[in-house]
Structure 1
Amino acid sequence: MVHTAKAEQPLLFTPLRIGNVTLKNRICISPMCQYSCEDGFVTDWHLVHLGARAIGGAALVMMEATAVEERGRISQFCPGIWKDEHMQPMKRICQFIKTQNCIPAIQLAHSGRKGSTFPPYISRDALPVDQGGWDDIIGPSPIAFGAGNDRVPKEASLEDIAAVRRAFVAATKRAIEAGFQVIELHFAHGYLVHSFLSPYSNKRTDEYGGTFEGRTRLAVELVRDVKSVLPEDFPLFVRISCTDYLPEGEGWDLEQSVELSKILKQLGVHLVDCSSGGNVDKAKNYFAYNNVDQISMAETIQRKADIPTGAASGGDKPNQGDKKKKESIVDLGKYLDKPIRVKFQGGREATGVLKGYDTLLNIVIDSTTEYLRDADDPCKVTDDSRQLGLVVCRGTTIIAICPVDGMEMIANPFIQNE
């Protein structure tokens, strides 16, 4: 009997142990704002949105930025976890995700000075109080974000900061009780903690401002607070913006991100989720430009801080990550706008152009603008054309395109650019 050698499993499809959980592969779905809540309560929309991605074969599905305080929402339609009643519908979602051999995760967040805005499909402006907005937004300093959101935040008092810390702890406990198995702290995109990190938005002269140690103090305190109530080795991620895209010395940058990541590792953070921008309304941002630089940022942090990293977007060469270090995780749900060919086990093949985009607030639309055609019959649309779940990787960080609704990632596809 002749035995053929079994092809080496791509790194993307190999398990990865993080803390006390094991990912069945390295495909994860990022938190994507849906603007579909009322009073912070998630709905059936979220069950379908998140559940469909679990069905698609991802190892981990993360719920969108979830406010730890009512004033910490981005919009009035964002989810919250500031009261016990929020847990019940979340439990249902977590239970379903687990039935698909998928890990439910949640991103805990506070919008800070970028709170109380309209949903982005209406405008980026501040939401007036008489239309459901709130005027008690806080920030490190009384500096408005701009770009239509011109409401000046209150400079957070020490009591405000203490209240935020208590809220993160309470939210962590609720998240665990609801059934989430991974927690990510949102320290990016110009929201509360990022605005404390950056000297551009933090002009304080007390212990929470000025020096690197002062500006990172809130981030460090929140990680310590959350770790104090997590079960042993419970996976904790932190998302940061690696740079404000400002001239040297004017804002947060990659060098400071590396130093913060070293501290986060010492505190027991399992992974740094690398994004960029969002704190300066007129600066270069990660949506307006080719976002591949986030990959190199993640690689730099992984190398210099010796901590596993993810990257919020980028990647265009499949299997490249197999040649690098193996501590990276796919992060999460971005799209290519290039011709692709997908080859499945059994010889099935499909070609086409995958179109998708990430809007200003991580709303991901996954669809094909050109149907994928059957290799044997170009006039026939393959079953996989509905919304093909493609995966790519680059450098030390593996990147995924969102798996398709209703399509199991079972075929171990080989993917390449045409």
Structure 2
Amino acid sequence: MLKTKKIDLVILAGGKGTRVSKFLKNNPKPLLKFNGISFLQYLINHFHKFPFQNTYILAGYRGNKIFQKYNNKIFNFIRIKCFVEKKTLGTGGALSILKNHVKNDFVLINGDSILLENLNNLFTQKKIKDNLIYLTKTNNYNSNSKLSNLSLFKNYVKLSKNKKYMNAGIYFLKKNFIKNQIPVNNCSLEDDILPKLILRKKFRGIISKNFFLDIGTPTNYRNAGKLLKKVFKRKSAFFDRDGVLNYDTGYVHNIKKFKLLPNVLKSLKYLVKKNFNLFLVTNQAGIGKKKFTLNDFFNLHLTLKKNFSRKGINFDDVQFSPFHKNSIIKKYRKVSNLRKPGNGMIKKINKKFLIDTKKSFFIGDQKKDQLAAKKSNLYFEYVKPNLYKQTLEILKKNK
């Protein structure tokens, strides 16, 4: 079996947003909201479905707001660590903050642009020798001066006079990149560091045709809400876990006991192909009852995340409830809307994601699943023996 590479995620969120300052209202640019969701949350939603080890956010202007909202938080089993610049360091110098923190190869992304790239293959390649830059066409981005004159020659990125491709704000960098290439002073990654490395053939390029958006100009900002809604408001499939995706043998908490039911993978792959969001909504009272630990649950799902990723399947979010009125652990001993039949877990998903509720569905195996779905206006079905066939039938009904 292919091993999953250990890769970290780094988000550059330090810019002042000078060109869109009139829209900021004392907020850092990545916290600008579109359709009720911050741009930074859109980034986290997309990239956290991949099996990254850790996420580091480098914040600058009004960075304390990002720190308060995200530091030490966990989204989709990935913990976020935030760092706020004490002085302006630029997109290059800011990386020096992570010199003693990043221990793995890492993906670096800009906090004010998004490229909807599928990164699953990064985690399964045996060895990636070179640093990578993802490129996109420069259509409608003539105002963006961040490495906008790029082309490829024998897969290496080349500085070019024509504006065929531009830097899409995603890089795969080797773990020694910060130590070897980043000075501890104010500098620009795009202007001071990357051009020199490109001239030395230190970067290979990957051309992407996927959706790209940069919110750094007034025009792009004004169009962003509509574009993000068009791309991110998706049909979604909600699943209970035990008895729906895997055999329910009672308090399943490790990979040895987790056995997928027939046709589950086929169903999930088909939903991914049809551009559905995948969500897991599961009661896990065994945590509160001390049948297994929170770490057991996390370790199982981190393994599942890697295993699913190798098959091209990514769950956009997993919500779980450790609460039960008979819990042994006191903090979990209560009646909570986060436990089905309450719909608190679905509400949490709705706060972070744009869901096309009318074309979405929930599959469960118990009455409590049906009640949670009803409270959220989601079409519900009890699981049938062939999940793939059931999925096809539901999609026909919900056209």
TM above 0.5, yes or no, is no
Question: TM-score, normalised on structure 2?
Answer: 0.30
Higher helix fraction (1 or 2)? 2
Structure-1-length-normalised TM-score: 0.29
